[in-house]
Each structure stands twice: as structure tokens, then as C-alpha cells.
């Protein structure tokens, strides 16, 4: 058999506190359209950024056509025939198509022959079905056309391996169809295409091979025709490995959070949340399952005052807080553990103590009208560091020097402590265990169970079904901004939830 175009073996890449690629393997052959499937944070983009020379791997081997290579920059990658189209296009809007295409290319080193280049671009665009006028300025183009320019840039450099990072996210259905037919032509010409996606439908529409990543590991690599949507969904999300967590019976009290027919829209008019209704009661943990990017972020932001609600109501402890400020929400006992703990949940450059009073600094006893009372802050921080077992050398060391798990503990300690004498009654947590090690993960889950026993209501957004099943009382499934199903955690059928997450109708 012919040598594979690309072989990536045992790739390891770590970021502070997170293992993005954990001995990941990936192989691409000529003529393949290879879908790289996985949830957000599974390590797909990181792996491809390594192949394209943007990130440096910690260890592992990359072979191009059987030869071990060292790729230190995108320039190297292009030299080895590898090109990438990023999610955010890297074009100069004021320049024309052809100027963008030739920018930085090895040809035209000394004398710039724009006319010749334009002819070449025109020829490429015709032969691969990527219609574009080379003399138009890029700012006049639609997103789909800009993507064509990015692809032409790579074709002009004669790459044989083209990496496309979630290429359909900016396209209209018509543009998507055109893109797919171009990709097929390129593959038939003997190139290899890597198609990063988390959408199962697209895998079956375009790819002939699929590799699934989960938590940085390669969990499967299959011919597309030999697999099914539900199998891929399970691979992507992972079979439940149930934690042994003691879940006491807690009587459910009144509703602490009520969401009534909630809808939101983007500036472009596209609906991101569609008519969502549910409630969370005292002593209850409600889970939201779903593949990332199906409206979870919008939901959480709408429930914490960070996003404008276009229609519907958010009621906290019986009080209508729709479209109130984030401050009003946390003053009413809504704790929020955001998705990005670094830079949103915690300010990296500020100390542990300062992060612990990030919201409460404005209230007694931490300050009076003008001044912060450092003594009170210190006593408070020390007690929280002890209570939440935060491993830090001092309450004054910057949070950025802590491990991911300890940063999350800082966020949790702050959010679950009381503000203005009010404890957290509603806890909204988004991917709270993402990137944490087993110990920290278990700590976080136990903490939620403890808050549940203490009578708080928890809304837990997670991409891990085992987490939801072991902690929650009820689980909703979100798909494309809607709630598409609901299950009692005790009687939940993993297969069924997986199918609903993939957008497949289940009776």
C-alpha cells in the first residue's frame, strides 16, 4: 500500500493545567476526505495546529509521505505541502483576491507579476469550481467567497494536504453544497483533506473516513460507510463510566429558577435559543446535555444577565430578573461558574484573595463607601482557602500560578460563599470539570451534591454524560437552541440521550 500522506504518532501537547493531546494518533491517505470529529475541547484544532506548525508538540512524531519531519512554522508546513484554513479567516480586506492569494508566497519573490498571478488564480478557481473574480477587493466578498480565497491561497501554493477547521460554520446551505463539491474534486485529484467538525451530519455528507477524538485521545478511526451516527455520537461523548457518588434523597422544595419561553437572537437575526422553558427547584440538580455549540453558552448567559433576552422570562426565587444586570443576578443568590475559568471566572494577574472578592468587594464587611478593608479580605480569603482546600503558597500569589483545579476551586469558593449575607440559592455551572484531573473532578461533583443537600438548586451544563448521570436528578438535552428531550437521571437511557444530542428524533 502507498505511504500515507500524513502520519501523526503519539502526539502530546499540554497547556498549563490541561492536556490537549494525549498520545493522539492520526493518519491521512491520498484521496481521502477525512473528518476529524470531537466535541469542543477534544483537541482537534490543537492537533491540526501542531501539524500546521502553529503549536509545538511536547512529544510525538510527524511523518509526511513516510519521512519524519520537523514542522516549526506554517511556512515549514506549506513547504511540506500542508495548508490550513482557519475558522477566522486571515485575509487583508482592503486588498484584492489575487493580492491576498500571492501574499507571502515563494513565487513572485523579486518581480511581482500580478497579471500572471491573476491568470493562475482564475485557472485554479475554474478547475476546482471555486468561482471568484481575482480583481475584487476582499471586503466586498461574502464569508463563503472569502473562504474560497483561503482555499485558493493553499491551492496556489500547491498544497496536497488541506486542513479545514469547522469550515461550514460561516456558510449558507447553498455555499456549503458548493464547498463540498469542490472538496470532492480536490480529493479526487489525489489530495488529502482534513475536515474538522463536531457536526455528525457533515461527517456523513462529505467524508469517507472519520477519526474521533475525545479528551485529547484518539478513540476510533473508521471508514465512514462502516459506522453510524449513533456509534459516532457514543464515541464522541464516551460511554458512561459511572462514578461512585453517594446521592442522598433530598426533598424538592419550591422553584428557585424558572425559565419561561426564553428566546434570544444574534445581531444577524439568527435565533440562538428557541422557546426554552424549565425550572430548577430547591435540592435539585438539573443537567443540560448536548454537544457544545447548541445554545448552552447563550442559555447560561441569559440566565446570569450577560446576554439580552429577546423573549420570555427568567425568574429567580419568584422574582422576575429578565434582562437585569449581572450584579442584580448575583445579589439575588445566583452563583455562576463560567466556562472559561481563566480570564472570565478568574483574573489571571490578580491574587487569590483579590479573585475571591471579585464580586463581594463592594459590600460590607469587605469595604465601606470608598476603601477596601484588607484585614477583612485577608481573614475571609484564608478561611476560604482552608475550607475549599485551595493549594496555594499564599493568598497573595497571582491566580495564574495555580493549577487548573485550584483555579476552579477559587472560582467555586467565591461563587458559593454568600454575597450581602445571602448564600448561593441557584448555582449555574458550565463545564465545571473540563480539563480537571480525577481528584479535582470528584471534588467539584461532591460539592454540587453538598449544595443540593443544603437546599440549593443547581443547573449543570456538561458535555460528559457520565457526569450528568451520576450527579443530576433530571437531564435536558439541547440541540440547535431547543430542548429536544428530557430524562430522569435514574432511568436515563444513554443511547437515547446520545441520539437526541446528535439531533436524531427519538420517539
Partner 1 sequence: MFGLNRVRFIARDKLSKKRSVGISLLSLLLAFLTSGVMFLFTNVDPVQAYVNLFGAFSNYALLSEAIVRAIPIMFVALGLTIAYKANFISIGGEGQIYVGGIIMTGLVIWQLDSNLIPQAVFIPIAIIMVFFGTGLWGVIPAILKAKVGVNEVLTTLMMNYVAQIFSNFLVIGPWKDPEGHGFPLSKEFPAYARLGLIPGTTINVGILLGVFAALLCYVILSKTKFGFEVKVVGGSYQAARYAGISYTKVVCLGMLMSAGFAGLAGMNILSGVTGKLRPDFSPGYGYTAIIVAWLCNLNPIISIFGSIFFGGLLVGGEVLQASMNISVGVTNVFQALMLIFTLSGEFFKRYKIVWRSD
- Residues lying near partner 1 in the complex (CB under 8 A): 16, 56, 70, 72-73, 76, 306, 325-327, 330, 336, 338, 340, 343-350, 354, 357-359, 361-362, 367, 370-372, 374, 401
How many alpha carbons fall within 13 Å on the CB side of residue 216? 16
Cell numbers at 503, concatenated: 439531533
Q: Which is nearer to partner 1, 248 or 369 (CB)?
A: 369
The least CB distance from residue 308 to partner 1, in Å, is 13
Distance CA 314, CA 277 (A): 9
Q: Which helix (H) or strand (E) holds 220?
A: strand 217-223
Find out whether 247 and 454 touch, Cβ atoms under 8 Å: no
> What's the start-to-end Cα distance of the chain, in Å?
46
Q: Which is nearer to partner 1, 174 or 368 (CB)?
A: 368
Distance CA 486, CA 97 (A): 49
Cell numbers at 41, concatenated: 475541547
The least CB distance from residue 328 to partner 1, in Å, is 8
Q: Residue 248, exposed/middle/buried by CB under 10 A (0-12, 13-18, 19+)?
A: exposed
The least CB distance from residue 3 to partner 1, in Å, is 23
Distance CA 253, CA 489 (A): 18
Question: Does the CA dihedral 200-175-120-99 come out positive or negative?
Answer: negative
DSSP assigned state of 419: B
The least CB distance from residue 76 to partner 1, in Å, is 8
* DSSP 3-state of 179: helix
Q: Which is nearer to partner 1, 344 or 506 (CB)?
A: 344
Residues in the chain: 507
Omega within 30 of 0 (cis) for the link into 13? no
The least CB distance from residue 2 to partner 1, in Å, is 28
Q: Which is nearer to partner 1, 31 or 348 (CB)?
A: 348
Q: Which is nearer to partner 1, 89 or 401 (CB)?
A: 401
Distance CA 40, CA 491 (A): 27
Cell numbers at 243, concatenated: 462514578
The least CB distance from residue 372 to partner 1, in Å, is 6
The least CB distance from residue 436 to partner 1, in Å, is 19
Q: Which is nearer to partner 1, 347 or 454 (CB)?
A: 347
CA R_g for the chain: 25
The least CB distance from residue 366 to partner 1, in Å, is 9
Cell numbers at 378, concatenated: 485577608
Q: Which is nearer to partner 1, 254 or 327 (CB)?
A: 327
Nearest to 461 by CA among 332, 301, 297, 322: 297
Find out whether 36 and 193 touch, Cβ atoms under 8 Å: no
Q: Which is nearer to partner 1, 250 or 350 (CB)?
A: 350
The least CB distance from residue 239 to partner 1, in Å, is 34
Phi then psi dihedrals of residue 167, to 5 deg: -70, -20
Q: Which is nearer to partner 1, 150 or 301 (CB)?
A: 301
Amino acid at each position: 500500500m502507498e505511504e500515507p500522506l500524513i502520519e501523526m504518532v503519539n502526539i502530546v501537547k499540554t497547556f498549563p493545567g490541561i492536556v490537549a493531546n494525549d498520545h493522539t494518533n492520526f493518519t491521512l491517505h491520498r484521496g481521502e476526505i477525512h473528518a476529524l470529529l470531537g466535541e469542543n475541547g477534544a483537541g482537534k484544532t490543537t492537533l491540526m495546529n501542531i501539524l500546521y506548525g502553529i503549536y509545538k508538540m511536547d512529544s510525538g512524531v510527524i511523518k509526511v509521505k513516510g519521512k519524519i519531519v520537523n514542522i516549526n512554522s506554517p511556512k515549514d508546513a506549506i513547504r511540506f505541502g500542508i495548508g490550513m484554513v482557519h475558522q477566522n479567516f486571515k485575509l487583508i480586506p482592503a486588498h484584492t483576491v489575487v493580492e491576498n492569494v500571492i501574499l507571502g508566497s515563494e513565487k513572485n519573490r523579486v518581480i511581482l507579476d500580478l497579471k500572471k498571478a491573476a491568470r493562475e488564480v482564475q485557472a485554479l478557481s475554474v478547475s476546482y469550481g471555486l468561482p471568484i473574480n481575482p480583481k475584487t477587493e476582499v471586503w466586498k466578498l461574502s464569508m463563503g467567497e472569502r473562504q474560497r480565497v483561503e482555499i485558493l491561497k493553499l491551492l496556489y501554493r500547491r498544497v496536497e494536504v488541506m486542513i479545514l477547521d469547522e469550515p461550514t460554520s460561516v456558510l449558507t446551505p447553498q455555499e456549503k453544497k458548493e464547498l463540498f463539491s469542490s472538496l470532492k474534486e480536490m480529493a479526487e485529484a489525489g489530495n488529502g483533506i482534513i475536515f474538522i467538525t463536531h457536526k455528525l451530519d457533515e461527517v456523513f455528507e462529505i467524508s469517507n473516513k472519520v477519526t474521533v477524538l475525545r479528551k485529547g485521545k484518539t478513540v476510533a478511526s473508521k471508514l465512514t460507510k462502516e459506522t453510524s451516527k449513533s456509534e459516532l455520537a457514543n464515541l464522541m461523548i464516551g460511554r458512561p463510566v459511572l462514578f461512585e457518588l453517594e446521592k442522598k434523597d433530598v426533598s424538592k422544595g419550591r422553584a428557585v429558577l424558572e425559565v419561561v419561553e426564553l428566546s434570544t437572537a444574534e445581531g444577524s437575526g439568527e435565533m440562538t435559543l428557541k422557546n426554552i422553558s424549565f425550572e430548577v427547584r430547591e435540592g435539585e440538580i438539573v443537567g443540560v446535555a448536548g454537544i457544545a455549540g447548541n445554545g448552552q453558552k447563550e442559555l447560561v448567559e441569559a440566565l446570569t444577565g450577560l446576554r439580552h433576552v429577546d423573549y420570555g422570562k427568567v425568574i429567580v426565587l419568584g422574582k422576575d430578573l429578565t434582562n437585569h444586570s449581572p450584579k442584580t443576578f448575583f445579589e439575588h443568590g445566583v452563583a455562576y461558574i463560567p466556562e472559561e475559568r481563566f480570564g472570565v471566572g478568574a483574573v489571571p494577574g490578580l491574587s487569590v484573595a483579590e479573585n475571591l472578592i471579585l464580586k463581594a468587594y463592594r459590600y460590607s464587611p469587605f469595604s465601606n463607601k470608598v476603601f477596601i478593608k484588607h484585614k477583612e479580605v485577608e481573614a475571609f480569603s484564608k478561611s476560604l482557602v482552608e475550607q475549599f482546600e485551595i493549594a496555594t503558597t499564599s493568598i497573595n500569589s497571582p491566580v495564574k500560578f495555580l493549577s487548573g483545579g485550584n483555579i476552579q476551586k477559587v472560582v467555586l469558593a467565591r461563587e458559593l460563599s454568600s454575597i450581602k449575607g445571602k448564600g448561593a440559592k441557584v448555582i449555574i455551572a458550565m463545564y465545571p470539570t473540563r480539563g480537571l484531573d480525577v481528584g479535582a473532578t470528584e471534588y467539584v461533583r461532591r460539592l454540587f451534591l453538598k449544595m443540593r443537600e443544603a437546599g440549593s438548586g443547581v443547573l449543570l451544563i456538561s458535555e460528559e454524560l457520565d457526569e450528568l448521570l451520576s450527579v443530576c436528578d433530571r437531564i435536558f438535552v439541547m440541540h440547535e437552541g431547543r430542548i429536544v428531550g428530557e430524562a430522569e437521571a435514574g432511568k436515563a437511557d444513554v443511547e437515547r440521550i446520545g441520539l437526541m444530542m446528535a439531533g436524531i428524533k427519538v420517539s
